Structure 1
Amino acid sequence: MATIVITGASKGIGFETALALAHAGHRVVAVARSGHGLEKLQETALKRSPDMQILPSVFDIVHGDYEREFRPFLEEKLGQVDILINNAGSLINRPFENTSPDDFSAMLEGNLLGHVRMIQQLLPLMPRDGHIVNIGSMGGFQGSVKFPGLAAYSASKAALHVLTECLAMELESKAIKINCLALGSAQTEMLAQAFPQFESPITAHEMGAYIAQFALTGHRLFNGKILPVAVTTP
């Protein structure tokens, strides 16, 4: 049984990934800002099986106090973290000329710096052969089709991709692997925000199941890789 921390677990792909991992018998720390969403996650898990282990943690990965609010919770209740899935993120859909520097800062905070903070805090709790999975986007994948209105979002995801490549080298001595899944479309609230008229052929449940399996096994074959996971873009 692995102990897994996943951020952005209150809805969408993070919600479904958490359920898939708990259903497979693993202990899941589900992190999100929405307490209501985490309550729904726990209720859904209990309906499926009373044995599913989901520990909710209402926490803001960008502005939260890791030393006082988050690390003590993990150290006291878990001891170590085998897998970290950095799934939390946000999106601004706005023409570039109307996108302010503050908008770009917000995207970098939510889609990059929050994950930087989480990785730095959890590294001391991760054993050798641990796995960090960053959830990127085809919007930030080099050479992919780009779309109007998503410049700030795509740039922030591209930064997360490069961070993954950099940390693969830095974490080599610790034998901790890190990879990034550049997701294409899956039917979520965020997709509807970016492309209101588009319906993805991939459900959040299907994408969550794939991410769960990759988090458990992908580090056996990959390290420092940015892997496109897309049937369509969007």
Structure 2
Amino acid sequence: MKVLITGASRGIGKAIANVFAKQGHQLFLSSRNEQALERTADQIAAEYPQATVHCKAFDLSRKEDALALAEWMEQSAGAPDILVNNAGSFEPGSVHNEADGVLERQLSINLFSAYHLTRALLPLMMKNGQGRHIFNMCSIASLKAYDNGGAYSISKFALYGFSKNLREEMKPHGIKVTAVMPGATLTDSWEGYDNSSRRIMEAKDIAMMVYASSQLSVQACVEDIVIRPQLGDL
């Protein structure tokens, strides 16, 4: 299968890329940081020679880059069989006092990146028919507001709304849509956190759930993946 993953240079995106590479799939990886992306692609190619790995850097907070990524994908190999909209960022804050512009930045990377990239790829994905699958990396913050969530939580609520609408639209076209909502996961957002007690999840936990959901029969769709630490949210 052809698997396009955004935000693939680190964290959950990198973990998802590794899981699919282990099974020998053809990967198309993107992130904003070109050097980190190339390191990740080289690591995956070396560890999993059975996989084919392509990578190209784009800043998906920019609409023109999202459209360029879609064009690169289609020119390279046509429509992806699996699209993982994982690009995103976290800026802590509260609605009443966060800096001006935070909401716009959070929406641009956490929502608009997925919206514009998906819209650009959908015509060819719909033409090719059933068997395609779109994963949108939402968050527990898509389901419940929490302290210091602010614009980030707003953007993730919006991404979940996008996923639910897309799910309904794509049913007759045979394209599955899954919203992934992880709780606390050891990624850069938790940099410096001491996880020696295994209080929060590992990125590979999320990756394994995404992969498992992609392997079901064409008549089965996991609509939502909600996964939390065993002891619950922090």
The normalised TM-score by structure 2 is 0.87
SS in 1 for 2:121: helix
Partner residue in 2 for 1:233: 233
Separation (CA, whole Å) in 2 of partners of 1:162 and 1:219 = 24
How far the C-alpha of 1:45 sits from its partner, in A, is 1.2
Report matched runs for 1:142-157 at 5 Å. Answer: 144=144, 146-157=145-156
Give the match for residue 190 of structure 1. Answer: 189
Task: Name the CA distance, whole Å, in 2 between partners of 1:109 and 1:217.
Answer: 32
Question: RMSD value over aligned CA atoms?
Answer: 2.3
Once the two structures are superposed, the pairs formed by residues 163-178 of structure 1 within 5 Å of their partners are: 163-178=162-177
Runs of 4+ in structure 1 off by over 6 angstroms are none
* Structure 1 counterpart of 2:124, one-letter code: L
1:136 aligned partner, one-letter code? C
**TM-score scaled by structure 1?**
0.87
Task: Give the CA deviation at 1:68.
Answer: 7.3
1:52: which partner in 2?
51
The CA distance in 2 between the partners of 1:208 and 1:29, in whole Å, is 16
Matches within 5 A, 1:69-218: 69-126=68-125, 127-129=128-130, 130-141=132-143, 144=144, 146-192=145-191, 200-217=199-216
Deviations 1:163-219 (A, max 9, x none): 1111122222322121101111211111348xx577644212232222222234387
Q: Which moved more, 1:98-107 or 1:110-119?
A: 98-107
Could you say if the C-alpha distance between residues 44 and 72 of structure 1 is closer, same or farther in structure 2, counting changes exceeding 3 Å? same
Question: Deviation digits for residues 26-79 of structure 1, max 9, x if unmatched?
Answer: 111111111111111122113313232111021122215358733342222202
Report the Cα offset of residue 158 of structure 1: 0.8
Closer, same or farther in 2 for the Cα pair 1:45/1:139, shift >3 Å?
same
In the alignment of these two chains, the number of paired residues is: 227
Q: Is the 8 A contact 2:66 2:117 kept in 1?
A: no
CA distance in 2, matches of 1:108, 1:219: 32
**Counterpart of 2:148 in 1: which secondary structure?**
coil
Q: 1:69 to 1:119 in 2, by over 3 A?
A: closer
Secondary structure at the aligned position of 1:55 is classed as strand
Q: How much has 1:110 moved relative to structure 2?
A: 1.1
Paired residue secondary structure (2:204): helix
Code of the aligned partner of 1:47: A
Quick one: distance in 1 between partners of 2:3 and 2:43? 18
Shift of 1:101: 4.5
Contact kept, 8 Å, 1:17 with 1:209, in 2: the verdict is yes
Q: Which residue of 2 aligns with 1:6?
A: 5
Give the Cα–Cα distance (whole angstroms) in 1 for the partners of residues 67 and 205 of structure 2: 36
Alpha-carbon shift at residue 221 of structure 1 (Å): 2.7
Q: 8 Å contact 2:179–2:224 — kept in the other structure?
A: yes
Listed one character per residue, the Cα deviations across residues 107-165 of structure 1 (whole Å, up to 9, x for unaligned) are 11111111100110111231322111111100121xx4x43211211111111111111
Taking the aligned partners of 2:210 and 2:171, their CA distance within structure 1 comes to 23
- 2-structure distance, mates of 1:66, 1:96: 29
Q: Where does the alignment leave 5 or more consecutive residues of structure 2 unmatched?
A: none
Once residues 29 and 174 of structure 2 are traced to their aligned partners in structure 1, the CA distance between those partners, rounded to angstroms, is 25
Indicate if the aligned counterparts of 2:180 and 2:224 stay in contact, CA closer than 8 A: yes
